[in-house]
């Protein structure tokens, strides 16, 4: 969602997988994953979802994870396997964000990032289309690469804000459309899918998709519980409100939804040194393994950078004792920026390690070239502290929580 994930995302490039979905294993058919540097994970419950995609060099994790959850929702209700267009959602949000940037005199964050509310808003306002109807690759690249487009849009909007004519012309929005059309392509008014012609809104209705069925949840004490507030993060340019509930109820809501076949949109901090993408896990050890590297054999031949030293200090060789997270810990980490709004992903199920510790299995959008083919495992302590917010279908909420969110 912001600067922290970009360095990781740049490294995640290989061939994209075709759209498939994973069936949840039966209770007696738990799947043990291969060893991840001391971890052996066993999938306990995996809900139907579509394949790992690749956002490549674009800050559109929010669209990939939010659209993935829509695809999963279609599957959960018995619908067909579906590959929906992320760029249709992105294209509409760039236009809306441009309008707000101008209206606020440039005082919102005009960048590639966004949030789950942007997916829901575009779905309800404009509908959705399949990937084949709008791939958004209109600029000579085989994969998404948005830096040039984003820079061009920002420069154009900043030029409009200089306002030499003392008032805006009637042409400036057409200029935004021109840039977006050049890079992503013109938006389809109608399209044909499997022999039938739809508008985007008709197609969304045919899939039974309704953004109003989803709830944005978070958990912080600087606002009252059981009220809504706009998370104070740069990518929440829409100022979309989230329901604020206690940490224990946030976790209970996620667990209940997963137990009942729903997937979860997960916005979280992935900048922690113990978030190990290529090794396939994210944990919060109780203590760092400090270790002095100065006299090691490695240090005699290789000059270690500060990053190398930090990596060595935070090595995890398998299941370890992790921190006990409190509501106060969550708040402190949010307030002092040790928890940052980095990335959007989809939680698709639960798992355990070889010692019985519980994890969430997460589908990412950084392609499949890592140990678990684009998935990784997040410990419960990591989830409790590093979650910014989640997106949950309201039907997956525990009844006692749902009653409070009216």
What distances in angstroms separate CA 140 from CA 86, 137, 179, one per listed residue?
18, 7, 15
Give the residue with greater pLDDT, 295 vs 111: 111
Report the alpha-carbon angle 293-298-303, nearest 5: 80
Q: Cα(40)–Cα(354) distance, rounded to whole angstroms?
A: 6
> Looking at per-residue confidence, does 57 or 310 come out higher?
57
Tens-place pLDDT, residues 240-256: 999 999 999 999 999 99
Least trusted range by pLDDT, from 122-136, 181-195, 242-256, 274-288: 274-288
How confident is the model over 108-130, as pLDDT tens digits?
999 999 999 999 999 999 999 99
Would you state the structure tokens that stand for residue 370, as one six-digit string?
């890592």
- Residue identified by tokens 């012609």 is 197
pTM: 0.88
Among 345, 405, 403, CA closest to 374: 345
Q: pLDDT class for 290, splitting at 50, 70, 90?
A: very low
Cβ–Cβ < 8 Å for 357, 319:
yes
The pLDDT tens digits of the residues spanning 19-43 come to: 333 333 333 345 566 677 799 999 9
Contacts 24+ apart (CB under 8 A), 26-35: 33/280, 33/351, 33/372, 34/371, 34/372
């Amino acid at each position: 969602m912001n600067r922290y994930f970009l360095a990781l995302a740049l490294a995640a490039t290989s061939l994209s997988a075709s759209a498939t979905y994973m069936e949840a294993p039966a209770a007696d058919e738990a799947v043990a994953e291969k060893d991840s540097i001391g971890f052996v994970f066993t999938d306990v419950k995996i809900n139907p979802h579509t394949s790992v995609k690749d956002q490549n060099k674009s800050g559109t994790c929010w669209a990939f994870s939010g659209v993935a959850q829509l695809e999963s929702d279609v599957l959960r209700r018995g619908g067909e396997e579906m590959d929906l267009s992320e760029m249709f959602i992105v294209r509409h949000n760039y236009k809306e964000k441009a309008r707000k940037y101008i209206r606020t005199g440039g005082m919102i964050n005009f960048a590639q990032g966004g949030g789950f509310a942007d997916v829901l808003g575009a779905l309800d306002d404009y509908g959705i289309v399949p990937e084949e109807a709008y791939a958004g690759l209109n600029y000579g690249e085989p994969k998404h690469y948005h830096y040039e487009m984003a820079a061009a849009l920002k420069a154009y909007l900043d030029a409009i804000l200089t306002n030499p004519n003392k008032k805006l012309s009637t042409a400036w929005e057409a200029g935004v459309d021109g840039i977006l059309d050049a890079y992503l392509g013109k938006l389809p008014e109608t399209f044909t899918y499997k022999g039938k012609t739809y508008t985007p809104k008709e197609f969304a209705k045919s899939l039974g998709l309704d953004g109003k069925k989803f709830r944005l949840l978070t958990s912080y004490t600087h606002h009252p519980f059981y009220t809504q507030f706009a998370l104070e993060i740069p990518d929440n340019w829409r100022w979309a409100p989230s329901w604020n509930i206690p940490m224990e109820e946030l976790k209970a809501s996620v667990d209940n939804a997963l137990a009942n076949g729903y997937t979860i949109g997960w916005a979280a901090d992935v900048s922690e040194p113990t978030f190990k993408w290529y090794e396939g896990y994210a944990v919060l050890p109780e203590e760092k393994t400090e270790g002095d590297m100065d006299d090691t054999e490695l240090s005699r031949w290789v000059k270690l950078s500060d990053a190398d030293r930090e990596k060595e200090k935070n090595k995890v060789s398998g299941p370890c004792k992790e921190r006990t997270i409190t509501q106060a810990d969550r708040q402190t980490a949010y307030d002092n920026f040790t928890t940052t709004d980095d990335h959007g992903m989809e939680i698709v199920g639960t798992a355990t390690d070889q010692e019985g510790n519980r994890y969430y299995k997460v589908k990412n959008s950084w392609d499949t070239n890592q140990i678990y083919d684009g998935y990784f495992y997040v410990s419960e302590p990591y989830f409790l502290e590093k979650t910014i917010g989640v997106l949950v279908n309201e039907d997956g909420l525990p009844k006692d929580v749902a009653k409070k969110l009216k």
